[in-house]
Structure 1
Amino acid sequence: MSKLSEYLCTERVVTRLEKADLSLDGLRLAHGCHFYIDSRRELNIQNMAAPKRANFTVRCSTLLAITGSPGAKDYDMISRGMKAHTNLQAQGGTAIFDFLKRREDRRKITFRFSDGYVRDSLRRSNDRTSKFAMIDVDTIGRLSTPKQILFYTRAVMAQGSTFPMFTLPWSAERTAPWRDVKRSWLSAAERLSKLLCQDYLLEPMVDAETDEVSRVKVKIVKKVSAWGPEKLFPRQADQSVCTVISGKARSLSKSELQERRKWTRADSP
């Protein structure tokens, strides 16, 4: 049974938000508006798409209570979030909103998600393989960087699998080389390790043509691990493999990696 602070978010929406490359408050605003619709029985996100293209209005104080930092009382999050989406539209990026406007009294926002966002938000009855995550907006409000939110959504989407893993929502082509962003992603993993009580193994994958890290595989280790010997830790790695255990990250040497080949947990055999 889901919590009152959770809403269903499809993988297609998660991917759309990742491609948008939003700021912290841009992500908070999107998740807050989506949760608001999901939590109101009289509202239907499908009405926002063609042909109806309905706009919905919500109090800024309501959005702040949904995904704002705990105890926040000003509307700075709303202002910064709206600016992030305005900049996204100006740059021709992946559209999240088709309409987003603050009322003259600045106490309410009227918004409409884009047709593409609405389509992505719907679960397809004929696609049993489609993934989704139950996003807890209380957790969103406690996260302090965009990478933490992106890591969180992927982690909760994968955590129900027998062998939970996901690819880090990072691309060297879109952002920066792995060596330049590694520390910030490890910090995000440390934060989520504490919040979700999970351990992680981050394995950089090297492209054979460029000899550069092209993606990073993240394996989740829960309290009860289903990982078998030689399944969790790789036999060898061209780049340093990192573990995040109880909120602390460290890189493994080649000898340490070999010692752990038969381990079924991140912290012990």
Structure 2
Amino acid sequence: MDLFLQQRLVVVAGGSSGIGLACAQAFAAEGARVAIVSRSHQRLEQAQRVCEEAGLHVHPFAGDLSDADQAQAVIDAISARHGAINVLVNSAGAAARHPVSQLTPAHYLEAFSAKFCPYINTQHAVLAHFLGQAQPSLRAVVNIVGIGGRVAMPEHVAGGAANAALILTSQGLAQAYGCQGIRINVINPGFTLTPRTQATLERMAQRSGESLEQTLARQQASIPMGRFARAGEVADLALFLASPRASYLSGAVINMDGGAYPGA
């Protein structure tokens, strides 16, 4: 199926690792022009090497997206160098997990700074570019948020609150901008095989006294499909949601949790 993404300009925030890198690779493989953004120059260089080894090309841009001015500057730089932006994939930032017994009000602010602000800052800058384009074209945002925004988890209360706020703002902005041809959709992955998930599992195993293998097996057994998602599976959905093939889909929130939370 042709997704009509050839030569479209796609910005992947958080595109240097995990799901973001998988999205960058998937869009590049479809013939899109891809700019990846990360705070770390080292991670950007590593991601660029990984893509080049796979025969794919991406354009790296460094910036701390939790800072609104830096987010604006990065988006301005991408547009100045490569032209009109067509797609934003938001996958930057993650909130730390804390046991409820250790949770403080400061942790909520940290969670919003780490997860909510990078998405909102980058999205705000891209929406301004969308609205400033002279000719109507593909204009889509895919916010990769997390199932914790729909399902309460004691060890992820602060981060889940940030995720829930992202879901609500995504749907509200989708309603506000739909009349101008701008689509905004949300993907909520559950456990996905990424370095971040690996670190989470290690912390869970340490707290429970289990081995890492036992923790992994227990978590996978709780999922009806019996396994975690692969980052490429999330990227495949992001491709479709961003593409003109999904031209009447906006304000949608799609859970990718292997059936773990039906109806969430």
Q: Which TM-score applies when normalising by structure 1?
A: 0.28
For the pair shown, which has the larger CA radius of gyration, 1 or 2? Answer: 1
* Greater share of helix: 2
> Greater share of strand residues, 1 or 2?
1
TM-score under structure 2 normalisation? 0.28
